[in-house]
Amino acid sequence: MDRRSDRVRVLLNPGASRAPEPDALQVLLAERPAWGLVELAEGDALERHVHDAVRDGVQVVIAAGGDGTVASVASVLARLGPDAPALGVLPLGTANDLATQLAMPLDVEAALAIFDAAEVRALDAIELALEDGSTRVVVNVANGGFAANVGAALDSEAKETWGALAYARAAIEAEGPTHRVTFQVDDDAPEQHEAVVLAIANGATCGGGVRVAPTADLEDGLFDLVLVSPASAPRLAALAARLRVGKLEDHELLERRVGRALSLRVEPPMAFSLDGELVEQSVVAARVLPGALKVVVGPEYRRGDLPDPDAVSSDTASSDDVPPPTRDDDVRHEDARGRG
């Protein structure tokens, strides 16, 4: 099939937990001129499909799948520079953390309607350096230690049975060692802490709605570094529950810092989940890539704030343009230090 006339291209992961049948999705897309659909096969190189879209002059590449599919497409686009197509997110997974923050509804038809009159924003990304010398890009959250073990403990059956609650259930069962974390944020003095969880966050939530970085803003040019101190499994599970239900900015088990560049040493090494993809090695450095990724957002999207789920669920009506909250980056930078 010749797809060179596509304006919008959908990359569908048919194995995603909420994926529609490709034929059913094709019927919806047939109503939209210059939209194309690529059904991904197991083992497909997503990078090749994204580069094909760039070559064909596609304006929006829609990642139709779970957080892993979205992250893979986003990481390629973020490296291509300002002329890259915009990223669209059609949330078909279990957690859908980035999609929620972008105010994209879970209903497929409602989400497609948003792309018909797309608002595009320039969001930050975070480039990570790993132990083996390779680099990766995340758009939402890189989390390690106990939190990464939670992701690894989940299988597709648990996700299908429990949905987003599977993440909370696995958090109670997962165990991990205490790590000695030495880090330096920007030009500040190096610090050392013990931690069971470490998160480098561009977005506010991970693990199906856990607000690991409630003050995070996808457009402010800063990351949030969050460390969770060692505690008993019940206390950690209680903390995870509190993070899921509200903005918990201060807690005796939490250390928070905010910055633009990070150097990091973790002993023993810590596995990380990078926007939902598990890697068995530690992150050693991170830096923000300001405005690196053009992304389609829903009408309820607001900088630095999670949208009302009821407003996002299926409502596609446009809303008045409300300016993002005013936030002085340097003040926020120093305030986060003060909380440490």
The answer to whether residue 277 is catalytic is: yes
Catalytic residue among 42, 109, 277, 280: 277
Query: Which residue in 143, 111, 123 sits closest to 224, CA to CA?
Result: 143
Enumerate residues 6+ apart whose C-beta is below 8 A from 267.
Answer: 179, 180, 182
Q: What's the alpha-carbon Rg for the chain, to the nearest Å?
A: 19
Q: Could you give the count of Cα atoms lying within 13 Å of 33 in the half-sphere of its Cβ?
A: 0
Q: Report the catalytic residues.
A: 277
